Amino acid sequence: MTDYMQNLGKNARQASALLARATTEQKNNALLAIFEQLKTQKNQIMSANQQDLQNGREKGLDTALLDRLELTDSRFDTMLQGLKDVVALPDPIGEITDMTYRPSGIQLGKMRVPLGVVGMIYESRPNVTIEASSLALKSSNAIILRGGSEAFFSNQALAKCVQDGLEQAGLPKSAVQVIETTDRSAVGELITMSEFVDVIIPRGGKGLIERISNEAKIPVIKHLDGNCHTYIEQSANFDMAITVCVNAKTQRYAPCNTTETLLIDNAIANDFLPKIAHALVNQDNAMQLRVCEQSLSILQNEEKLQSHISKATEEDWDTEYLAPILAVKIVADMNEAIAHINRHGSHHTDAILTNDYAKSLQFLREVDSSSVMINASTRFADGFEYGLGAEIGISTDKIHARRPVGLHGLTSQKWVVFGHGEIRQ
Amino acid sequence: MTDYMQNLGKNARQASALLARATTEQKNNALLAIFEQLKTQKNQIMSANQQDLQNGREKGLDTALLDRLELTDSRFDTMLQGLKDVVALPDPIGEITDMTYRPSGIQLGKMRVPLGVVGMIYESRPNVTIEASSLALKSSNAIILRGGSEAFFSNQALAKCVQDGLEQAGLPKSAVQVIETTDRSAVGELITMSEFVDVIIPRGGKGLIERISNEAKIPVIKHLDGNCHTYIEQSANFDMAITVCVNAKTQRYAPCNTTETLLIDNAIANDFLPKIAHALVNQDNAMQLRVCEQSLSILQNEEKLQSHISKATEEDWDTEYLAPILAVKIVADMNEAIAHINRHGSHHTDAILTNDYAKSLQFLREVDSSSVMINASTRFADGFEYGLGAEIGISTDKIHARRPVGLHGLTSQKWVVFGHGEIRQ
């Protein structure tokens, strides 16, 4: 196992040096060649996927997992379109910014460069194999992929297309390598071979990510969870607040940028809470509300709501439901709201609804989250909405890239100096 | 120990929330109050330093270490001036950049924010206590300091001034805390309490830094070594190349941005090598040259040089001398030079001397180092020369900040969204 992994690492390191030199045209040609290979080899990919699905059913995998594993025609088309989207993105590599003359006479700037070799560990969605490969390639990084064992055959078939496309475009095949074993010790090797791997990107369950963060000897771009808040400050326009809050919670439940706790100023609670509660319950998929004691008493005479309300426990403030459940809490003022968010939130995405100028700026500054929003739905916090093109991973870390992480998250900057023979005095 | 460290951590976390709200004026007032406290308490600081020096002599510390430990009057003044310099730096916190409207109508930007709590582990220079405190404060971070045990009393006396100054300016004393024990397990606690510490900055020997990187459960901004190169490409102006190369090696030996290996194109070696060799040897502090076999044969008839030349071994290409010794190697062409640098260098700072336009751009792109220079001395790679004001630490990592790391290295960015009630479709 060690020899096998070390070999992958060496190959990736060599490929990354060649990728660093590749022109934008070469990289785009490789992406287009992969696009063609996927179309040509679609039958092989689909039957590999069928084999994974059959193995999964025999092993008794649950429906949700089998669903994620399945490559439908429409998912296949989305995957193809994703490649075209990455071709259309500007090449981040080589960009020089912040050029200034220093008093010594040197001209100083920053050049965007690849990270080198990315190790990616992910769940059983085969499309991630193509997404991650294309983003790594566009940003001139080599990548070593370790997909879920359930998607073993699908990932092999997809990786073959990628390598065929790379070869056709004259780029090294080992720029994208899939770990061809389901031996779990491969992950342990991958996350500790710091000589060959520059960054680890895990996607998957919280347990997996925590284990990887603890054991890695390489920087990890990690995302743990999304416990997002929408706070209704007393000056908020009620109609806007209801529309935005309903969208933030109900537009979709599963994404990590969905609001999980609604905070309401005490001054408007009597008036606003019944309105928003009815709006949330009158959805196709009616909400369950876990409310604080004061909310419970305000809502006690609203008969229609009773079957949808229960008293929140302390645990609710810390819970990412990913389900039609919303926690609701009345706060004395914005300071309490900010303190609640910074304590119970996951530093992911939090929004305020307000028309108060000073408070909007204070909220923006003091909430310690990757995305902080005024008068907008927390659901906007993603790579496509932010114009990053695509997301390679999602990060709640403060170091390096903060969520969402697009192509730039796979790059670093180096200082460049244009001199004319200057020496240090 | 655990209780003691957890307590420091909790205090730091609380202080960091207050610092995040502090205005630029409050932070500058605190820095000026620390300045005054240092002047007022100079006698106490100096006698604490004398005590450290005496203990050091009794323990038999070597002269170099005792020298680093000593707070002379001039070093004290430099430390005071450093505080004024940090006051003069622009406040990085709250800066919003890259504001754009997205098609959805939201206005998206990035706001610069503090990292939170910094844990700093450093060698026995007491002035680092003030430098690190002032940079942390200016960037709204709380900091926990663990200085070398040899500087124990000096650091306590300095930390008292810092805390007195903070208190006077109405900021929390626990924004800057010095670990008041020499128990080595304190470091182990500091680098693993991820709940309270956001980043670790170690300064010191390679062994210490490697150990910290391996054991930390928190991101580490680390710097290992500086094995820098100056490469003389065949089109270089000889006079410029000699001036720059002599400066890069001899202006000072100890800094990590000093050139340790000189690479020379084969096409000009016969002509250029004797010239540069004489220039390097005709210094006040004559160089020892460790040269490749071909260089040895070119220089064999230069009598004056013989006592300064010896044959290099493979190990020389990997060595950071920090001494009047320079490795010299003739390379076939720029590709060999780049390959040598990327293989043997430490990804710190490397320079090319050239007048070839295409090659200068290729070198800039393909050398994988924190700083890459054309026609300038590698000695320019530092925070003051780059206009960063001061350095908190030095990083050869690719993730987050790359060397030199100034105030911005102690910050992160969060996404900010200004909306008008937008919802996700």
The per-residue DSSP string of A298-336 comes to HTTT-GGGGGGEEE--GGGGG----SSEEEEEEESSHHH
The whole-number pLDDT of residue B418 equals 95
Would an 8 Å CB–CB cutoff place A6 in contact with chain B? no
User: pLDDT at residue A270 above 80?
Assistant: yes
Calpha distance A75→A151 (Å, rounded): 15
User: pLDDT at residue B401 above 60?
Assistant: no
pLDDT, greater one: A209 or B403: A209
Angle between helices B152-168 and B24-40 (to 10 degrees): 130
Dihedral sign, CA of A164, A169, A171, A175?
Answer: negative
- Please count the residue pairs, one from chain A and one from chain B, whose beta carbons lie less than 8 angstroms apart: 210
Give B-chain residues touching A379 at CB under 8 angstroms. 423-424
The whole-number pLDDT of residue B390 equals 67
User: pLDDT at residue B328 above 70?
Assistant: yes
Which amino acid would we find at residue A303?
E
- Upstream peptide bond of A202 is cis (omega within 30 degrees of 0): no
Is B366:B339 a contact under the CB 8 Å cutoff? no
Cβ within 8 Å, pair B372-A106: no
Is A329:A295 a contact under the CB 8 Å cutoff? yes
- Nearest Cβ partner for A415 among B247, B248, B370: B370
Question: pLDDT tens-digit profile of A6-18?
Answer: 999 999 999 999 9
Closest to B370 (Cα-Cα) out of B391, B390, B395: B395
The whole-number pLDDT of residue A45 equals 98
The whole-number pLDDT of residue B58 equals 96
Closest to A256 (Cα-Cα) out of A346, A127, A148, A352: A346
The tally of CA atoms less than 13 A away on the side-chain side of residue A317 is: 15
pLDDT, greater one: A383 or A85: A85
**Structure ipTM over 0.85, yes or no:** no
- Report the pLDDT averaged over residues B11-21: 94
The full set of domains in chain A, from first to last, is 2-223+403-418 (3.40.605.10), 228-380 (3.40.309.10)
Cβ within 8 Å, pair A415-B371: yes
Question: pLDDT tens-digit profile of A147-162?
Answer: 999 999 999 999 999 9
Cβ within 8 Å, pair A414-B237: no
Calpha distance B186→B301 (Å, rounded): 59
Phi-psi region of A110 (alpha: psi -120 to 50; beta: other; left: phi over 0): beta
The whole-number pLDDT of residue B183 equals 84
Residue B287, classified by CB atoms within 10 Å of its CB into exposed (0-12), middle (13-18) or buried (19+), is: buried
The whole-number pLDDT of residue B256 equals 86
Question: pLDDT tens-digit profile of A66-87?
Answer: 988 999 999 999 999 999 999 9
Q: B93: helix, coil or strand?
A: coil
User: pLDDT at residue B224 above 70?
Assistant: no
The whole-number pLDDT of residue B210 equals 82
Cβ within 8 Å, pair B102-A377: no
Mean pLDDT rounded to a whole number for chain A: 91
User: pLDDT at residue A300 above 60?
Assistant: yes
Confidence of residue A224 (pLDDT cuts 50, 70, 90): low
- Nearest Cβ partner for B417 among A106, A213, A376: A376
Cβ contacts of B119 within 8 Å, gap of 6 or more: B143, B144, B146, B190, B191, B197, B199, B200, B201, B218
Cβ within 8 Å, pair B214-A219: no
Sequence-ordered alpha helix ranges (H) in B216-373: 238-250, 266-281, 293-298, 334-344, 357-366
SS3 percent helix, strand, coil of chain A, rounded to 5, is 50, 20, 35
The per-residue DSSP string of A8-27 comes to HHHHHHHHHHHHHH--HHHH
- Report the pLDDT averaged over residues B163-191: 93
Confidence of residue A222 (pLDDT cuts 50, 70, 90): confident
Question: pLDDT tens-digit profile of A88-139?
Answer: 999 999 999 989 999 999 999 999 999 999 999 988 889 999 999 999 999 9
- Report the pLDDT averaged over residues A298-316: 94
